Structure 1
Amino acid sequence: MTDVSLHPAEAPRQGSPALLDIRGIEVIYDEVILVLRGLSLAVPEGKVVALLGSNGAGKSTTLKAVSGLLSTERGEVSDGSIVFDGKNITHFDPARRVRAGLSLCMEGRHVFEHLTVHENLVAGAYGRRGGNAEDFDLVYSFFPKLADLRTRVAGYLSGGEQQMLAIGRALMARPRLLMLDEPSLGLAPLLVQEIFGYIRNLNQETGLTVLVIEQNARRALEIADHGYILEQGRIVIDGTAAELSENPDVKEFYLGMGDAGRKNYRDVKHYRRRKRWL
Structure 2
Amino acid sequence: MTEPTVAAGAAPGEGQGPSPGALRLNNVEVIYDEVILVLRGLSLEVAPGSVVALLGSNGAGKSTTLKAVSGLLPTEHGEVTDGQVLLDEQDVTHVDAARRVRRGMSLCMEGRHVFEHLTVQENLVAGAYSRGRARPADLDLVYGYFPRLSELRSRVSGFLSGGEQQMLAIGRALMSHPRLLMLDEPSLGLAPRLVEEIFGHIRRLNQELGTTILVVEQNARQALDIADYGYVMERGRVVLDGPATELRENPDVKEFYLGVGKEGERRSYRDVKHYKRRKRWL
Identity %: 71
Amino acid at match of 2:194: L
Amino acid at match of 2:155: R
Aligned to 1:53: 56
CA contact (8 A) 1:18 1:42 kept: no
CA contact (8 A) 2:21 2:179 kept: no
Out of 181, 186, 208, the residue aligned to residue 205 of structure 1 is: 208
1:186-234 C-alpha deviation (Å, 9 max, x unpaired):
0000000000000000001111100000000000000000000000000
CA contact (8 A) 2:71 2:97 kept: yes
Aligned to 2:100: 97
Mapped pair 1:21 → 2:24: yes
Distance in 1 (CA, whole Å) between partners of 2:65 and 2:255 is 24
Mapped pair 1:268 → 2:273: yes
1:25-81 C-alpha deviation (Å, 9 max, x unpaired):
000001100000000000000000000011110000000000100000100001000
> More deviation in 124-133 or 45-54?
124-133
Mapped pair 1:239 → 2:229: no
Shift of 1:127: 1.4
Structure 1 gaps, min length 5: 1-16
Aligned to 1:3: none
Amino acid at match of 2:281: W
Shift of 1:273: 1.5
Distance in 2 (CA, whole Å) between partners of 1:38 and 1:128 is 34
CA contact (8 A) 2:220 2:258 kept: yes
Distance in 1 (CA, whole Å) between partners of 2:79 and 2:43 is 16
Shift of 1:274: 3.2
Aligned to 2:38: 35
Query: TM-score, structure 2 length as denominator?
Result: 0.89
Cα distance 1:18–1:162, how it changes in 2: closer, same or farther (>3 A)? closer
Aligned to 1:277: 281
Query: TM-score, structure 1 length as denominator?
Result: 0.90
Aligned to 2:10: none
Mapped pair 1:218 → 2:221: yes
Correspondence 1:117-266 to 2 at 5 A: 117-259=120-262, 260=265
Distance in 2 (CA, whole Å) between partners of 1:222 and 1:277 is 23
Matched residue count:
260
The alignment partner of 2:94 has SS state of coil
CA contact (8 A) 1:117 1:153 kept: yes
Distance in 2 (CA, whole Å) between partners of 1:19 and 1:39 is 17
CA contact (8 A) 1:112 1:154 kept: yes
Amino acid at match of 1:276: R
Aligned to 2:47: 44
Amino acid at match of 1:112: F
Aligned to 1:67: 70
Shift of 1:268: 3.0
CA contact (8 A) 1:262 1:268 kept: no
CA contact (8 A) 2:124 2:171 kept: yes
